[in-house]
Amino acid sequence: MAVVGLSGRLARCYCLRAVRSSLRVPALQLHVSKTAMGASQKDFESAVNQVKLLKKDPGNEVKLKLYALYKQATEGPCNTPKPGLFDLINKAKWDAWNALGDLPKETARQNYVDLVSGLRSSSDSSSQVKPEADKKQAGYETLVITSEDHITKIMLNRPAKKNALNTQMYQEIMLALEAASKDDSTITVFTGSGDYYSSGNDLTNFTDIPPGGVEEKAKNGAILLRDFVDCFIDFPKPLVAVVNGPAVGISVTVLGLFDLVYASDRATFHTPFSHLGQTPEGCSSYTFPKIMGLAKAVEMLIFGKKLTAGEAYAQGLVTEVFPDSTFEKEVWTRLKAYSKLPRNAMRISKQIIRNHEKEKLHAINAEESSILQERWLSDECVNAVMNFLSQKAKL
């Protein structure tokens, strides 16, 4: 029977990944924030000096993070041969640096500065109160959330996995949106850490099969998807996407529910649903034709055409495109100015603009989720996911 076959194949995928992860040092997840404007060389040098003055030893894990970020900030991606298996210290350092992948030098420099600043404040914390402007919200593992200048920034933070959304990240984003809807910020911003905005749904989500088998997995996935997208439909404040790099799948489709989409000219927009045996979600089956017209929506959603930032702008999915070299500076200057506008007026305006369609969007979300629940059990989808996972398995 088909389902038994699918279940067996997914189980084999799962084993493959289990073996693979047992062979590898886990990638370091850096829970450090990147402030809006980026750190200067002077900030970086000052942070390097401050490390020497830390009162408390930060421990080996943090020292490895510092080492990796320093190397990435000064030399770029790891460029030395991997040390031998028994050269434990150098191997750990190499692994930490290598785990940063293609993280841009400026981001590494900023993350280094933020990490040192966090270490300094925790070592001085006995007597000091953190300034309001630099509060990083604790308790999130896949996100870095900061509040500054009346802006809550939600940064997807799995750069080694191109910010793929795993189950934990979906759940944390829902919590973060709930919190941001109630905090005193005027606008909420999504962005990505590292070179990607997001590579979409984490395809390894499909490998973790519960006792109820693949049907239960598909059912849970559909519930998660529906709840996740509902949070975007209902979000009451202006929602902004700062698309710092390529975006794939669900990270593209939900953009139709954002109020502003700013993109670096490095960003691309790709929804390869048919290639994955899947179908559109995030209400894109409705929002995309409405935004860009049926012909262009079909090209993206059925044929998987990848758009450049310029094309996405021409088709109305993106509000404005900025050169990558000045992207962060220009966007954050703009957003800081917007964040000073009266909060209630912005919120009410959003309600007036969006409320007509809310009910319809919820119905579309429910329908898309239920269709995907079926799709996830199809041979087409299982084969496509297995294909990706086996290509990535470095056994």
Binding footprint of ligand LGGBLMCM on the chain (CB under 6 A)? 161-162, 164, 199-204, 221, 224-225, 248-250, 272, 276, 278, 281, 388, 392
Residue closer to ligand LGGBLMCM by CB (options 10, 335) is 10
Q: Which is nearer to ligand LGGBLMCM, 108 or 276 (CB)?
A: 276
For the CB of residue 131, give the shortest distance to ligand LGGBLMCM in the complex, in Å. Answer: 35
Sheet holding 239-243, edge to edge: 135-137, 143-148, 151-156, 187-192, 239-243, 260-264, 320-322
CB of 368 to ligand LGGBLMCM, least distance (A): 9
What CA–CA distance (Å, rounded) separates 30 from 141? Answer: 9
Beta-bridge partners for 269: 247, 307
Q: Tokens 């629940």: give the residue.
A: 373
Work out how close the CB of 194 gets to ligand LGGBLMCM at its nearest, in angstroms, rounded to a whole number: 10
Our CB check for ligand LGGBLMCM shows the closer of 24 and 329 to be 24
> Please, what is the minimum distance in Å from the beta carbon of residue 378 to ligand LGGBLMCM?
14
Residue with tokens 């109305």: 316
Nearest approach in angstroms of CB 314 to ligand LGGBLMCM is 23
Q: Which is nearer to ligand LGGBLMCM, 150 or 305 (CB)?
A: 305
**Closest residue to ligand LGGBLMCM using C-beta atoms:** 249
Q: Nearest CA to 258 among 350, 346, 153?
A: 350
C-alpha torsion sign, points 339, 345, 348, 353: negative
Pick between residue 333 and residue 383 the one whose CB is nearest to ligand LGGBLMCM. 383
Nearer to ligand LGGBLMCM, 24 or 340 (CB): 24
* Residue 88: CB minimum distance to ligand LGGBLMCM, A: 22
Q: Is 26 in contact with 76 (CB distance < 8 Å)?
A: no
Phi first, then psi, for residue 53 (nearest 5°) are -100, 5
Three-class secondary structure of residue 146 per DSSP: strand
Nearest to 6, CA basis, from 386, 280, 370: 386
- Closest CB 217 distance from ligand LGGBLMCM, rounded Å: 10
Minimum distance from residue 50 beta carbon to ligand LGGBLMCM (Å): 32
Nearer to ligand LGGBLMCM, 27 or 51 (CB): 27
In the complex, the smallest distance separating the C-beta of residue 99 from ligand LGGBLMCM, rounded to whole angstroms, is 9
- Closer residue to ligand LGGBLMCM (CB): 338 or 388: 388
Q: Edge-to-edge, what's the strand order for the sheet holding 247-248?
A: 247-248, 268-270, 307-308
Strand partners, 187: 151
Beta-bridge partner residues of 136: 146
Distance from C-alpha of 334 to C-alpha of 118, rounded to nearest angstrom:
27
The structure tokens listed for 266 are 């490095």
Q: Where are the beta strands (DSSP E) in 55-142?
A: 135-137
Q: Which is nearer to ligand LGGBLMCM, 95 or 202 (CB)?
A: 202
The b/e string for 349-382 (b: 16+ C-beta within 10 A; e otherwise) is: ebeeebeeeeeebbebbeebbebbbebbbeeebb
Kindly give, in sequence order, each residue whose CB lies less than 8 Å from that of residue 348, ignoring residues fewer than 6 positions away. none
